[in-house]
Structure 1
Amino acid sequence: MYNGDAIVAACDQLAAISADAGQLTRCYLTPEHARANAQLAQWMQDAGMQIWQDAAGNQWGRLEGSDPSLPALVLGSHSDSVINAGRFDGPLGVLLAIGVVARLNGAAQRPARSIEVVAFADEEGTRFGTALLGSRAVAGTWDPAWWDIVGRDGVTLRQAFVDFGLDPDRVHEAARAPEHIAGYLEAHIEQGPVLEAERRSLGVVTAIAGARRFVITIGGEAGHAGTTPLALRRDALSGAAEAIVAIETLARAAGIVATVGSLETFPGAVNVIPGEVRMTLDIRAERDEDRDRTLNGIRETCDRIGETRGLAWYWQETHTAPAVACAPRLVETLTQAIEAATGPDAGPVLRLASGAGHDGMAMAAICEIGMLFVRCERGISHHPDESVQARDVDDALNAMSRAVSTLVD
């Protein structure tokens, strides 16, 4: 994995490890997760690392430095996926990290500081609906209330641990002490169109937007579609539709993003007024106060809709992550590394915030974080059409190698 072509090929190989034929789906604590860990472990060993799987199912490798007493620099990303995913969201960062270690291990002088590579096992939250489980375990912020979460396959998180061969009572052993970690660096596809629009292969992340997610149940009253006058209806779906438009309007005015990504109606018959609706809300902003102020406005608007239409609203928060700023020294180190890797003709290095969540949000609880973005075609992500260019991956490998060399020598 000394160049972009090799890393892209490895992403293709990893994408073949999937629960679904013909598409990429790889979820936490599944047989596919185990197979991916085994393949990544082999590549880590090939790069000269000692390997282990931690108590939460994350896969690790370590290249020992000349002074093992120094805190280690951690590189990585995640190995899990959404349903029908692309090949590069997560794995590209893990494989770039392995490529960096392979280069440094082949250098004439071993770095002073040890380097660790981690493939976090559950960033997306696809199976259990709660993101960042792998990195939260490492950060020591695991919530025991998660054990009773029932996954999309009907299995609790606790049972999934047991089925995978992990001991739920030992998950705390995955936590790393802050004094043993010098920092965390992650390379990731941008998942947006800015770099492509600006004709840049790489960018530096300044902050990761804070996110909150909810499952919202709207209670109305079912009735016959032909015999109940409109004025007497308590139509949960009509209330949801009004709320969705209001959510978009309020988010647009605040300059943030909010998404209703799932909508279910009950009883779901063509001739029955919907008596209940369940929908999700994902709301994000670079500043937590902007996000939460807009969320309060959304809830007040939903309450007014409920009063007018005779509907009850029930909110269940399923995920919360505060906005996280990247460390200024790591932002500067990555900026200088990109300048050196891409040359003076590339123009000033772009600095941009990430609207998507990343494992760095959890790792920020125990260390400084830095992130590098890699251009992706049309900004497409979480989709099979996700695509990167090998030459951009070459730039990323060169930049990450320079940055890491600076930080570990």
Structure 2
Amino acid sequence: MVSGGRRAVARCDALGVAPYSDMEGGLFRAYLTPAYAAAQSALAGWMEEAGMSVRLDPAANLIGRYEGMVADAPALMIGSHLDSVKDGGRYDGPLGIMLGVEAVDALNREGKRMPFPIEVIAFGDEEGSRFPAAMLTSRAVAGVLDLGALEVVDGEGVTLQDAIAHFRHPRLDPGSRFSTAAGLGSGTPDQVRGDDYLTAKHPTALAYLEAHIEQGPVLEAKGLAVGTVTGIAAQLRYQAVVTGQANHAGTTTMPLRRDALTGAAEMVLAIETIARGDASDLVATAGRIEVLPGAPNVIPGEARFTIDIRSGDPDRRDRAAGQIIAALEAIALARGLTLTVDLIHDLPASPCAPDLMDRIDAAIAIVGQPPFRLVSGAGHDAMVMAALCPTAMLFIRCRDGVSHNPAEHVDPADAEIALQVMLGFIDRLGDSVAAA
């Protein structure tokens, strides 16, 4: 029999190509696209094979539920995200979901039920690759998403409300238990209504567990397959718009130019300089830039770029953000440009629950690995889910620490170790609930 960890990796590989990708020759699975729906359909089938009932919630999260011994007890939620960045890797997000499915499958094959149900959840748009706000659907589940956050538009001019209203899930085989959650509206049973989005809030949960590739080099440098995450760094993300004057590139002399792109370029370098000068865990990134009108013979009249600022220390993060915005405003003023900077999201530092970390450490030791703890510089759905319930994260070694890249790689043996740790964690959580 193929090990659960190996099968989890193989399933991530299967979802790395068409029809589960929106781009040829690489992986890009954006929220609410045909590729996203196709991946959900495949995942729903795997969830059902593992013994779960499956549903879509009003934010189009796919949820598989494995009932426990106690009716209506708060559920242990295990999840991660199904979407990807453009030209991304196959394991960032989906591996945590697949390992959750494998954990339930192992319990189901043993005929074992816990004193709580287990829900495996596949979130969407964690990356913010389609809409300019990350972790949309986990924020809906955690109940921290407001109506204003739904007023977003993707790069093609499609609003989130339109995307969710027109989302159609592929129908599964006749007799499938797959269904939509109650309250998604009338009409076809695979349609999700946009006006129900915020009702995706989960009523209650016992805890949330997320297994994820490290996306960094620490575990590999330590020679370790897995590690216990202590918490997730605080994040700020902004959208900056620099406005100048579009004009003819051949007739406008240099002193008369109000070039939005050159102004934005100076701003991006200022962001890097400030972050480097802090000499700490602070990082700042201008990850996406767009120039208008985008013609070779026209001076750019507008440039838009994102700013991502992170630190394990929220005060350090906020202080750097103030310095960065002040520097950008000074550059705009000196160049005769207009600058607007809008806050997209503010995610506080999110520590993992100490008792859950202890259970992960114990489970790691039982499988013969030395327990090791590390902080996450990357954001994850777990930091949002902390508003709903205690959270825990397990990091899995990835080769060379590479992520958000087609070269992303996970050893199936490491995935198997992670699966056994998750099962040990579930057992220990079950023991504590039963003893309470």
2:166 aligned counterpart, secondary structure: helix
1:207–1:354 Cα contact (<8 Å) kept: yes
Shift of 1:287: 2.3
Q: Do structure 1's residue 407 and structure 2's residue 429 form an aligned pair?
A: yes
Listed as ranges, the matches of 1:180-219 within 5 Å are 180-219=204-243
User: What SS class does the counterpart of residue 15 from structure 2 fall into?
Assistant: helix
Stretches of structure 1 that go unaligned for 5 or more consecutive residues are none
* Corresponding position: 1:57 with 2:83: no
- Corresponding residue for residue 372 of structure 2: 350
TM-superposition CA deviations, 1:88-135 (whole Å, max 9, x none): 011100010111111122336422222111111221121112111111
Deviations 1:239-295 (A, max 9, x none): 222222221121123321111122333444555544432222111112222111101
How far apart, CA to CA, are the structure 2 residues paired with 1:195 and 1:45? 33
TM-score with structure 1 setting the length: 0.92
1:356 is aligned with what amino acid? A
Native 8 Å contact 2:161 2:195 kept in 1:
no
**Residue identity opposite 1:118 in structure 2:** I
Of 401, 404, 416 in structure 2, the residue corresponding to residue 394 of structure 1 is 416
**Residues 319-368 of structure 1: per-residue CA shift (max 9 Å, x gap):** 33222111111111111211222x2xx54x32211111111122111101
Looking at structure 1, the residues matched to 34 and 202 of structure 2 have their Cα atoms a distance apart, in angstroms, of 26
What's 1:130 paired with? 133
Q: CA deviation at 1:227?
A: 5.9
The answer to whether the 8 Å contact 1:7/1:95 transfers is: yes
SS class of match (1:217): strand
Q: Distance in 1 between matches of 2:103 and 2:112?
A: 15
Quickly say closer, same or farther: Cα 1:125–1:272, change in 2 above 3 A.
closer
Out of 291, 294, 297, which is 2:320 matched to?
294
Matching residue of 1:9: 10
CA offset digits 1:118-167 (Å, max 9, x no partner)? 11122112111211111111111222123332212321111111111211
CA RMSD, 1 decimal: 2.0
Within-5 A mapping of 1:133-152: 133-152=136-155
CA distance 1:160–1:2, shift in 2 (3 Å): same
Residue in 2 that maps onto 1:276: 302
Between 331-340 and 185-194, report the one with greater CA deviation: 331-340
* 1:229 shift after superposition: 5.3
* Contact kept? 1:65, 1:110, Cα under 8 Å: yes
Compute the displacement of 1:68 (Å). 2.3
Cα separation, partners in 2 of 1:109 and 1:314, compared to 1, 3 Å:
closer
1:264 alignment partner AA = E
C-alpha distance in 1 between matches for 2:195 and 2:272: 43
Alignment partners' CA distance in 2, 1:34 and 1:277: 33
Provide Cα deviations, 1:2-55, integer angstroms capped at 9, x if missing partner. 432211111112223122233222111122222222211211111111221111
Distance 2:418 2:299 in 1: 54
Look up the match of 1:36: 39
- C-alpha distance in structure 1 between counterparts of 2:275 and 2:33, whole Å: 36
Alignment match of 2:401 (pick from 379, 387, 390): 379
1:284 is paired with a residue of what secondary structure?
strand
- Quote the Cα distance in structure 1 between the aligned partners of 2:276 and 2:345: 22
1:169-188 matches, within 5 Å, as 169-177=195-203, 180-188=204-212
Partner of 2:49: 46
Distance between the aligned counterparts of 2:37 and 2:6, measured in 1?
Answer: 25
- The partner residue of 1:320 within 336, 342, 346 is 346
- Structure 1 residues 268 and 24: alpha-carbon distance in aligned structure 2, compared to 1, 3 A threshold: closer
Equivalent position amino acid for 2:49 in 1: D
Equivalents in 2 of 1:108, 1:273: separation in Å? 68
Change in CA separation of 1:271 and 1:174 when aligned onto 2, cut-off 3 Å = closer
